[in-house]
């Protein structure tokens, strides 16, 4: 039986590779391209809009046809190779040969850890046979940011939470109708399903509640920038995208750089287990936009680029609508604001890779120095922030830094939006004090462990933040508190495992994810993650080789993806050696799988018991 929390290796996620021959664009393709992206202005199309244009074609034709790529290159006065190298980098672009048939619809089933725990793999395996048609493509997808609704999937651009085979088939049939028989050979039942309604504070309501008053006061110099900076520093707000750099200090560094300065906002939210940015965006988008305006004013950035992951289609529509309302009736002079669409590449959450992507290139992280605060977007000094960091700015200044710093437990300060998923009764975004322990988080905020599950292990910071045992459930969760144990909190994506799961399966799942998402630029990461994933499949681990790989990945990778990739390996050695044949099963530990489970050190090719 297939292991449930390991990505299937037979499901191919990457796109078809096609050889594009140099040739002139054909007239019809040129017209089709122009119909979507408009005629090139005299100075030519903006180079940085290449990915936006690829999206326009990909949406319209359900793939990127060779003839369109040739025409697009001509329209944008770009070498064909440049267009192709960008298009081939992103998971959401499918390059097709002319004459090939594009799928009418693509269903993406999440195989991230939380969805795998909830049975995502079963869905992925059953769905193609149930749909029984080759015009609908079913593929696996890395975490789609809906872990609290696991298993999650996307039917075209529509997100489906708590997905079942019946719901997904019904949604597919609504979009591309066909008479189908179910497994009992009866016509497929109509299954009513709609995304649960969420109350969003829209522009008028936000303003009616005093919203944008602070931004206008800062822009009109009624509130001094220094006062805002002081509040940010006193509150101790640290970047909530994962690295935890103090926000106020970052503002000062960028403010001291020469003009023009730019700002880039990170809503790529690709870390498996993280969904807090989506949660806040769906509910209170203007609190974030007001924070953005205040930051832009204090730091003096003349343009702002918001990068939103492609999986958040509803979020994009919402943000487009609310941005339009803000622009139509601005509370104060606004900077230039552009919303950019990611294209399915986790690495584009890394700040310099995100800037490359906004510039319309492959999302490959840059070497540092220079830091992006000095040489960032389009070569200009750039303030880069996670969505949630900006989300707190208004409250910190209005309520006072003591309000934010007044939260916290076990000697830590501030508030955190924990994304909690896995084996808890009530998964979701939990706004809790920084420094809360896992045990407190589960008991006080998540209604306890799910029925029939006892805590065995947890991932405190998504794929990269390590895997810790239940014995460390009383360590405060915050920046800097988990490093001594071999983990980190990152974006506070907490995934909880129980006695029915195995840490080795989780480790393999995240290593496969990292191998899949490595941008491939540097050898230690590209080869190291793939080789490690292969070695981690073995019943008994080759500890020496894995240690060597961990050392090289950690020391010689360019960016945080490769540098953090050793974490799952090291945590396995340290806390779960019994699972990988490196020691006997400890007598005081509940055996995953309970009675009848495989012997200590057994390979993960058998499926642990699942009780979603
Ligand atoms: C592999 C990798 C992926 C990342 N993904 C994200 C992401 O999805 N969202 C995010 O805000 N930061 C992400 N980061 C962190 C960013 O590089 C950067 O530190 C952060 O956006 C800075 O904003 P902040 O100071 O407000 O946290 C990622 C970092 C790495 C190394
Ligand atoms: S560490 Fe990995 S993701 Fe980062 S630049 Fe190197 S290959 Fe790319």
Convert the pLDDT of each residue in 338-381 to its tens digit.
999 999 999 999 999 999 999 999 999 999 999 999 999 999 99
CA 181 to chain centre: 36
* DSSP structural state of residue 148: G
pLDDT in tens, 501-534: 999 999 999 999 999 999 999 999 999 999 999 9
Q: Which among 355, 561, 563 is the best mutation to test ligand 2's pocket, defined by most ligand atoms within 8 Å of the CB?
A: 561
Burial of 210 (0-12, 13-18, 19+ CB in 10 A): exposed
Average pLDDT along the chain: 91
Residues 6+ apart with CB under 8 A from 31: none
Q: Are 281 and 267 in contact (CB under 8 A)?
A: yes
- Is 433's pLDDT higher than 80? yes
Q: Which among 345, 362, 526 is the best mutation to test ligand 2's pocket, defined by most ligand atoms within 8 Å of the CB?
A: 526
Q: Which among 250, 266, 305, 364 is the best mutation to test ligand 1's pocket, defined by most ligand atoms within 8 Å of the CB?
A: 266
- Is 24's pLDDT higher than 90? no
Span from the CA of 553 to the centroid of ligand 2 (angstroms)? 10
Q: What is the mean pLDDT of residues 227-234?
A: 98
Supply the pLDDT for residue 15: 40
Span from the CA of 287 to the centroid of ligand 1 (angstroms)? 20
Q: Is 241 in the pocket of ligand 1 (CB under 6 A)?
A: yes
Supply the pLDDT for residue 571: 97
Provide the CB-side half-sphere exposure for 359 (13 A, CA). Answer: 19
Atom of ligand 2 nearest to the CA of 526: 7
- Is 593's pLDDT higher than 60? no
- Ligand of minimum distance to the alpha carbon of 524: 2
Tell me the backbone φ, ψ of residue 145, rounded to 5 degrees: 75, 30
Supply the pLDDT for residue 600: 35
- Is 188's pLDDT higher than 90? no
Reference 592, options 584, 600, 580, 582; nearest CA is 600
Span from the CA of 265 to the centroid of ligand 2 (angstroms)? 21
- Is 178's pLDDT higher than 60? yes
Supply the pLDDT for residue 586: 74
Tokens of 276: 């807090």
Distance CA 5, CA 508 (A): 9
Which residue CA neighbors atom 24 of ligand 1 most closely?
A: 239
Distance CA 233, CA 253 (A): 13
Q: Are strands 136-141 and 105-110 parallel, antiparallel or unpaired?
A: parallel
Q: What are all long-range contacts of 396-399, with beta carbons under 8 Å and residues at least 24 apart?
A: 396/231, 396/232, 396/235, 396/237, 397/214, 397/223, 397/227, 397/228, 397/231, 397/232, 397/294, 398/214
Q: What is the mean pLDDT of residues 107-131?
A: 94
Cα dist from 1 to 109, 606, 607, whole Å: 19, 6, 6
DSSP 253-284: HHHTSPSSEEEEEEE---STT--HHHHHHHH-
- Is 588's pLDDT higher than 70? no
Span from the CA of 374 to the centroid of ligand 2 (angstroms)? 22
Supply the pLDDT for residue 189: 67
Supply the pLDDT for residue 44: 74
Distance CA 514, CA 507 (A): 11
Cα dist from 77 to 327, 344, 358, 512, whole Å: 32, 26, 19, 38
CA 71 to chain centre: 32
- Is 9's pLDDT higher than 50? no
- Ligand of minimum distance to the alpha carbon of 525: 2
Q: For ligand 2, which residues put their CB under 6 angstroms from it?
A: 347, 365, 518-522, 525-526, 557-559, 561-562
Which residue CA neighbors atom 4 of ligand 2 most closely?
A: 559
- Ligand of minimum distance to the alpha carbon of 352: 1
Distance CA 538, CA 228 (A): 54
DSSP 158-181: EEESS--HHHHHHHHHHHS----B
Supply the pLDDT for residue 474: 98
Q: Is 268 in the pocket of ligand 1 (CB under 6 A)?
A: yes
Span from the CA of 242 to the centroid of ligand 1 (angstroms)? 5
Cα dist from 602 to 35, 276, 538, whole Å: 58, 36, 9
Distance CA 111, CA 117 (A): 9
Enumerate helices (H) and strands (E) in the chain, giving the number of each. Answer: 24, 15
Supply the pLDDT for residue 595: 42
Task: Give the torsion through C-alpha atoms of 337, 343, 348, 354, to 10 deg.
Answer: -30
Tokens of 69: 């790529």
Identify the residue whose tokens are 């292969």. Answer: 534
Report percent pLDDT > 70 for the chain: 90
3-state percent breakdown (helix, strand, coil) of the chain, nearest 5: 40, 15, 45
pLDDT in tens, 551-561: 999 999 999 99
- pTM greater than the 0.75 cutoff: yes
Q: Which residue has the higher pLDDT, 249 or 591?
A: 249
Span from the CA of 525 to the centroid of ligand 2 (angstroms)? 6
- Ligand of minimum distance to the alpha carbon of 557: 2
Atom of ligand 2 nearest to the CA of 353: 5
Q: Which among 519, 528, 531 is the best mutation to test ligand 2's pocket, defined by most ligand atoms within 8 Å of the CB?
A: 519
pLDDT in tens, 281-309: 999 999 999 999 999 999 999 999 999 99
Tokens of 589: 């530990």
Span from the CA of 454 to the centroid of ligand 1 (angstroms)? 32
Which residue CA neighbors atom 1 of ligand 2 most closely?
A: 562
DSSP three-state, residue 420: strand
Task: Give the torsion through C-alpha atoms of 121, 124, 125, 130, to 10 deg.
Answer: 140
Supply the pLDDT for residue 607: 28
Which residue CA neighbors atom 20 of ligand 1 most closely?
A: 241
Q: Is 385 in the pocket of ligand 1 (CB under 6 A)?
A: yes
- Ligand of minimum distance to the alpha carbon of 392: 1
Supply the pLDDT for residue 176: 82
Supply the pLDDT for residue 22: 56
Span from the CA of 241 to the centroid of ligand 1 (angstroms)? 4
DSSP three-state, residue 237: coil
What confidence category does residue 130 fall into, taking pLDDT thresholds of 50, 70 and 90?
A: confident
- Is 190's pLDDT higher than 80? no
Supply the pLDDT for residue 133: 79
Supply the pLDDT for residue 177: 72
* DSSP structural state of residue 570: H
Supply the pLDDT for residue 582: 78
- Is 196's pLDDT higher than 80? no
- Is 4's pLDDT higher than 70? no
What confidence category does residue 187 fall into, taking pLDDT thresholds of 50, 70 and 90?
A: low
Atom of ligand 1 nearest to the CA of 346: 3
Span from the CA of 514 to the centroid of ligand 2 (angstroms)? 10
- Is 578's pLDDT higher than 70? yes
- Ligand of minimum distance to the alpha carbon of 388: 1
Tokens of 164: 């079942």
Q: What is the mean pLDDT of residues 9-13?
A: 35
Distance CA 570, CA 482 (A): 14
Q: Are strands 105-110 and 336-341 parallel, antiparallel or unpaired?
A: unpaired
Span from the CA of 538 to the centroid of ligand 2 (angstroms)? 25
Span from the CA of 522 to the centroid of ligand 2 (angstroms)? 6
Q: Which residue has the higher pLDDT, 68 or 178?
A: 68
Distance CA 182, CA 130 (A): 7
Radius of gyration from C-alpha coordinates of the chain? 24
- Ligand of minimum distance to the alpha carbon of 558: 2
What confidence category does residue 590 fall into, taking pLDDT thresholds of 50, 70 and 90?
A: low
What confidence category does residue 2 fall into, taking pLDDT thresholds of 50, 70 and 90?
A: very low
Atom of ligand 1 nearest to the CA of 245: 25
Atom of ligand 1 nearest to the CA of 388: 26
Q: What is the mean pLDDT of residues 384-392?
A: 98
Span from the CA of 522 to the centroid of ligand 1 (angstroms)? 19
pLDDT in tens, 67-101: 999 999 999 999 999 999 999 999 999 999 999 99
Span from the CA of 14 to the centroid of ligand 1 (angstroms)? 24
Q: Which residues pair with 66 in a beta bridge?
A: none
What confidence category does residue 575 fall into, taking pLDDT thresholds of 50, 70 and 90?
A: very high
- Is 19's pLDDT higher than 60? no
Q: Is 419 in the pocket of ligand 1 (CB under 6 A)?
A: no
Distance CA 169, CA 603 (A): 34
């Amino acid at each position: 039986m297939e292991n449930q929390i390991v990505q299937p290796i037979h499901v191919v996620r990457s796109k078809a590779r096609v050889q594009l021959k140099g040739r002139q664009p054909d007239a019809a393709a040129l017209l089709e391209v122009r119909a979507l992206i408009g005629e090139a202005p005299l100075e030519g199309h903006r180079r940085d809009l290449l990915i936006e244009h690829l999206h326009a074609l990909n949406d319209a034709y359900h793939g990127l046809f060779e003839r369109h790529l040739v025409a697009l290159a001509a329209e944008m006065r770009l070498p064909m190779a440049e267009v192709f190298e960008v298009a081939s980098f992103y998971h959401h672009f499918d390059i097709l040969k002319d004459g090939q048939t594009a799928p009418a619809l693509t269903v993406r089933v999440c195989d991230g850890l939380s969805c795998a725990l909830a049975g995502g793999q079963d869905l992925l395996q059953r769905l193609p046979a149930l749909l029984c048609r080759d015009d609908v493509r079913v593929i696996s997808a890395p975490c789609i940011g809906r872990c609290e609704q696991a298993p999650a999937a996307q039917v075209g651009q529509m997100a489906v939470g708590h997905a079942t085979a019946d719901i997904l088939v019904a949604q597919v049939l609504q979009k591309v109708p066909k008479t189908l028989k179910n497994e009992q050979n009866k016509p497929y039942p109509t299954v009513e399903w709609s995304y649960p309604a969420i109350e969003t504070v829209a522009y008028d309501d936000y303003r009616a509640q005093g919203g944008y008053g602070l931004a206008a006061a800062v822009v009109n110099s009624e509130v001094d920038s220094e006062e805002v900076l002081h509040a940010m520093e006193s509150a101790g707000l640290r970047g909530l995208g994962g690295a935890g750099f103090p926000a106020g200090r970052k503002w000062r560094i960028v403010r001291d750089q020469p003009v023009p300065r730019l700002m880039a906002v990170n809503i790529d939210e690709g870390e498996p287990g993280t969904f807090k940015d989506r949660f806040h965006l769906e509910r209170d988008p203007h609190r974030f936009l007001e924070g953005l305006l205040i930051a832009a004013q204090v730091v003096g950035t003349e343009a702002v680029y918001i990068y939103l992951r492609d999986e958040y289609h509803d979020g994009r529509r919402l943000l487009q609508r609310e941005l339009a309302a803000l622009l139509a009736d601005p509370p104060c002079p606004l900077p230039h604001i552009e919303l950019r669409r990611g294209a399915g590449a986790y690495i584009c959450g890394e700040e310099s890779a995100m800037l490359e992507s906004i510039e319309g290139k492959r999302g490959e992280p840059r070497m540092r120095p220079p830091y992006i605060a000095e040489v960032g977007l389009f070569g200009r000094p750039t303030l880069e922030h996670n969505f949630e960091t900006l989300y707190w700015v208004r409250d910190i200044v209005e309520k006072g830094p003591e309000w934010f710093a007044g939260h916290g437990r076990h000697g830590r300060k501030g508030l955190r939006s924990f994304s909690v998923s896995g084996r808890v009764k009530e998964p979701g975004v939990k706004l809790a004090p920084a420094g809360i322990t896992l045990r407190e988080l589960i008991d006080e905020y998540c209604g306890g462990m799910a029925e029939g599950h006892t805590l065995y292990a947890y991932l405190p910071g998504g794929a990269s933040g390590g895997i810790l045992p239940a014995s460390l459930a009383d360590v405060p969760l915050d920046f800097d508190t988990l490093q001594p144990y071999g983990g980190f909190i990152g974006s506070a994506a907490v995934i909880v495992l129980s006695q029915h799961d195995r840490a080795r399966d989780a480790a393999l799942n995240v290593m496969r994810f990292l191998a899949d998402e490595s941008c491939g630029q540097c050898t230690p990461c590209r080869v190291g993650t793939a080789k490690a994933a292969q070695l981690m499949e073995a019943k008994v681990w080759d500890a020496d080789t894995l240690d060597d790989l961990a050392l090289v990945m950690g020391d010689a990778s360019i960016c945080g993806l490769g540098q953090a990739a050793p974490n799952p390996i090291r945590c396995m050695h340290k806390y779960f050696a019994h699972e990988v044949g490196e020691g006997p099963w400890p007598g005081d530990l509940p055996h995953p799988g309970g009675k009848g489970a495989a012997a200590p050190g057994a390979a993960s090719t058998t499926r642990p018991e699942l009780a979603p």
